[in-house]
A and B are shown apart, each in its own frame.
Chain A
């Protein structure tokens, strides 16, 4: 048996298929990066579709984009970036074994995530009221009607899938909170927090791309 394995052989968090905690951490981290790569491809297909239609129907898309609430969108962007900060601080605290701090930062991240979702719901509700939800009730100026509807279809799908990922992210944070609470996460074993952080940052980055693409078309002056 290898010496490293002997040292960690009885660590409660070591899964049986791994020889050492170090190997387990590397595997988990690589796994999360590969998963995030698949997510890039997943969102990428939608971004490509959006880019193509945006290139074909620029005026209609600009007109439709103008109807989105830039203020709420900007607030949401700030909220999400802050949540990535709290997440990074949670990881840092975990590295140092500061259990209470980890718990607080995880709570802050979840609260900010929930705030994001709350603001998003308000935006969706506004869209519903303004008859900008695609389908039989959709209303828009006649000239851009069809392509504005396409814009809003893409808007709802892209932000909807993003929101779904946020919900899942909050769920993951709840699990991380629970594990930290009961002492599973220690200075020696904090990689679950780290890789959850990777996921959270990724979801944040998707929004960083979504926001300008959807909200900021044609707002550069004119």
Chain B
């Protein structure tokens, strides 16, 4: 009966050992203090058991040294834990610069994974071992959560915005992916698998797949179909900003604020164009709310990302 009953999860990512080390440290502290307190109270309960019906205890009111000691020592210990936990968290919150980006759309009650070159997966995510992977995630309906215990990572998947997490797997295998934010009837059925493959197998898998073309090429087609190119022209003659080379740059808005052009800003500009108007442009862009799906938004975002700055044409 006991075989096949794990008591500790597999470790399959670079973060796992860091999280586990912190866990064991906390475990040691907890065992120590639990045994200390439990031991003392049982010991005292026995040693100072009331002998006569009317005996009273010693009138000890307190001791400042003791109070300060058991305030300051726990404070120091907790600060150590805080710093350690914070450093692990920083590593989790900051993906490396070069990551394989994969889009995730959660919906009741399934996961849709979209690789940049067009591969679409449902509930299964293929990734290569030893390379950092960043998941950029949104939900179509309610809040979900991507949780891969073997990687020790988790992040909520929220409708109306993008959240992300990153991981680098350390050994090939199949690892469970759970939805970890209650999302309705089949919440416990919203389970997937991360399939970590050797690099060569991964290449084989990649090329065997999607015939539909990359996300960016789908986005290019959509850009034309929705007539975005009427106003957003590379020759700056259109009524909208030039998108070539725009992604990742800092822009100034009408009200003087600046922001960085990221996935969220592109998404917002498509759905609520009046929210943040670039300086020097009129608020005339119509909204596409209700006219594009989450997946189409991802395609358009990838297309905009793919538009490189055009070389300046020098006037003669």
- List the interface of chain A (C-beta within 8 A of B): 57, 59-60, 142-144, 146
A99 to chain B, nearest CB (A): 56
B248 close to A (CB within 8 Å): no
By a CB distance below 8 angstroms, the chain A residues around B274 are 59-60, 143-144
Q: Assess whether B283 is interfacial by the CB under 8 Å rule.
A: yes
Contacts of B275 in A (CB 8 A): 57
- CB B29 to nearest CB in A, in angstroms, measures 37
- Tell me, rounded to whole Å, the shortest Cβ–Cβ distance linking A26 to chain B: 32
Q: How far is the CA of A60 from the CA of B283 in the complex (A)?
A: 13
A–B Cβ pairs within 8 angstroms, 10 of them: A57-B275, A59-B274, A60-B274, A142-B287, A143-B274, A143-B283, A143-B287, A144-B274, A146-B272, A146-B289
Mask: chain B, 272-299; 1 = CB below 8 Å from A; 0 = not: 1011000000010001010000000000
Residues of B within 8 A of A (CB): 272, 274-275, 283, 287, 289
Closest to B273 in A: A143
Residue of B nearest to A144 (CB): B274
List the 6 closest A-B pairs by CB distance, nearest first.
A143-B274, A59-B274, A143-B283, A144-B274, A57-B275, A142-B287
Of A59, A60, A142, A144, most buried by chain B (CB within 10 Å of CB) is A59
Once the chains are docked, how many angstroms separate the CA of A59 from the CA of B275?
8
* CB-defined contacts of A57 to chain B, threshold 8 Å: 275
Nearest CB of chain B from residue A215's CB, rounded to whole Å: 22
Nearest-CB residue, chain B, relative to A145: B287
Residues of B within 8 A of A146 (CB): 272, 289
Distance in angstroms between the alpha carbons of A60 and B274 in the assembled complex = 9
CB neighbours (8 Å) of A59 from chain B are: 274
Query: Which residue of chain B has the shortest Cβ distance to A56 in the bound complex?
Result: B275
Q: How far is the CB of A93 from chain B (nearest CB, A)?
A: 53
Compute how far the CA of A142 lies from the CA of B287 in the bound complex, rounded to whole angstroms: 9
What is the CA–CA distance of A143 and B285 in the complex, to the nearest angstrom? 9
A146 to B287, CA, bound (A): 11
Query: Cα distance A57–B287 when bound, in Å?
Result: 15
User: Knowing that A143-B274, A144-B274 are A-B contacts, what are 8 other residue pairs whose CB atoms are under 8 Å apart, sorted by A's residue number?
Assistant: A57-B275, A59-B274, A60-B274, A142-B287, A143-B283, A143-B287, A146-B272, A146-B289
Give the docked Cα–Cα distance between A142 and B283 (Å).
12
Query: Shortest distance in angstroms between B26's beta carbon and chain A's nearest beta carbon?
Result: 35
Contacts of B287 in A (CB 8 A): 142-143
A residues in contact with B289, CB < 8 Å:
146
A144 to chain B, nearest CB (A): 7
Residue of A nearest to B255 (CB): A58
Q: Which of A57, A142, A143, A146 has the most CB of B within 10 A?
A: A143
Task: Report how far A143 CA is from B284 CA in the complex, Å.
Answer: 9
Nearest-Cβ distance from residue B52 to partner chain A, whole angstroms: 40
